[in-house]
Structure 1
């Protein structure tokens, strides 16, 4: 499939029936601060790939060559990805909220604090930095369209997409708007899980867990602030913090820019 054909398929693909937070990282071709656009059909993002046969073959038709799974071991074991025909699968685990901490949450404030810790960890935790560095390096050096995902496609995936778009020169307000789209795309899934929480844990627990199930500007801002505090700027975070070579970083940016 040629690049132009891949782009045409990407233009037509709006949603996957079995992965509601699947989308092109470039959106409809996000603008950059120098008047350019982010190239569509290069990188895709998603929640977990519990795919129907039809959706798996839709990804095949997009030309996906690699799938990067950012979930932890227990998440992968519980819900293994459905294979995408023609794509290699690679596991690059990044930790989220520890399950014992999730179980212990009692208030919305505790949930908010836990989420802020997760986003600081994307920058501060050595294991997270190693996984994100391996991911960016792989995306820079692997041919063809590629897809990365976690469970909800919200936090680990959302941070990766935000970093990629910022590196490509997308303005901060557009990066934030793209990040928050998860709240629109995943409305049905979020409402389903909150209903289960109300049923099994009690209606009063809905307010406790709402913060865990949304993308929030405060979360993304916490990670950006951690980058600024530890590294000064995004490029230094990617090169020094994530261990991505300057050449690979430049190659990734070049792939993303029209």
Structure 2
């Protein structure tokens, strides 16, 4: 039997936007949490999402104050080696390789179309690549059973992290337009870090590379629609994908819903 969620997890104050971890967010959204189809709310202070976890000292203090128990790093091994997470006191760090891409993977490209095709492959992998499905299943199992609160992240916190958040919000019963808006919010939240990376591109590679690499730096409706279309074609819907694609049994899915939804 999986542990039931703790109803004593305090509802935290609103998270400020952190300069050093600019895509840190509560999966539940802000305020009272995202509404669900049955009149509930997604419970805040349970699951957090983020981009690269290298906070400065001030932001480290805020992150420590969240009381995180587990941090799931969804990046590739080479990404972790190049930019390891900063240790968060009290949190167990776990590496779960969900593959994905980095902007550096597109350095040899000469057209935006090449970068876009690479990103589309990432979203197809969420649905079709067995190792990626296994990694996603492991993350969701741990989110369902390990001590709360927990955080998951990748490099920009937009694709691998974004897909996990889509699955969680779907399980909670959040309406699709809200899930989509939350997914696209990464473009707004990562504006500062994306601007820094764009300056590095211009300085190191030349201004002509900005449009070539832009598809790697953002999320789009098209990326999400591609993944959801592959899910529909292969598993009928996200419920089928979670059950048959990721192999998650009912007790895990029920435990996640119980943790996610506040009546």
Short-chain TM bin = over 0.9
If asked which structure has higher relative contact order (CA below 8 Å, sep 6+), I would say 2
Mapping 1:4-15, distance limit 5 Å: 6-7=10-11, 10-15=12-17
Cα RMSD of the aligned pairs, angstroms, is 1.7
Match of residue 107 from structure 1 = 111
In 1: Cα distance, 2:193 partner to 2:102 partner: 21
Q: Between Structure 1 and Structure 2, which shows a larger proportion of helix residues?
A: 1
Deviations 1:60-79 (A, max 9, x none): 22121000000001110111
In 1: Cα distance, 2:227 partner to 2:214 partner: 20
Match of residue 79 from structure 1 = 83
> Quick one: which of 65, 68, 77 aligns to 1:64?
68
Match of residue 222 from structure 1 = 226
Residue 135 of structure 1 aligns to a residue whose secondary structure is: helix
> Quick one: which of 18, 38, 41 aligns to 1:37?
41
The unaligned stretches of length 5 or more in structure 1 are none
Match of residue 171 from structure 2 = 167
Deviations 1:2-50 (A, max 9, x none): 966731xx32322223200001001021111222111100100000110
Residue 81 of structure 1 aligns to a residue whose secondary structure is: coil
In 1: Cα distance, 2:260 partner to 2:105 partner: 37
Deviation at 1:167, TM superposition (A): 1.3
In 2: Cα distance, 1:56 partner to 1:99 partner: 26
Q: Which moved more, 1:240-249 or 1:124-133?
A: 240-249
Number of corresponding residues: 255
> Quick one: which of 210, 213, 222 aligns to 1:206?
210
In 2: Cα distance, 1:36 partner to 1:112 partner: 37
Tell whether the 8 Å contact from 2:64 to 2:89 is kept in structure 1 after alignment: yes
> Quick one: which of 143, 147, 150 aligns to 2:154?
150
Q: Which moved more, 1:202-211 or 1:95-104?
A: 95-104
Report the TM-score when normalising by structure 1: 0.94
Residue 93 of structure 2 aligns to a residue whose secondary structure is: strand
Match of residue 54 from structure 1 = 58
Report the TM-score when normalising by structure 2: 0.92
In 1: Cα distance, 2:104 partner to 2:217 partner: 17
> Quick one: which of 181, 184, 190 aligns to 2:194?
190
Tell whether the 8 Å contact from 2:9 to 2:46 is kept in structure 1 after alignment: no
Residues 1:83 and 1:100: Cα distance change in structure 2 (over 3 Å): closer
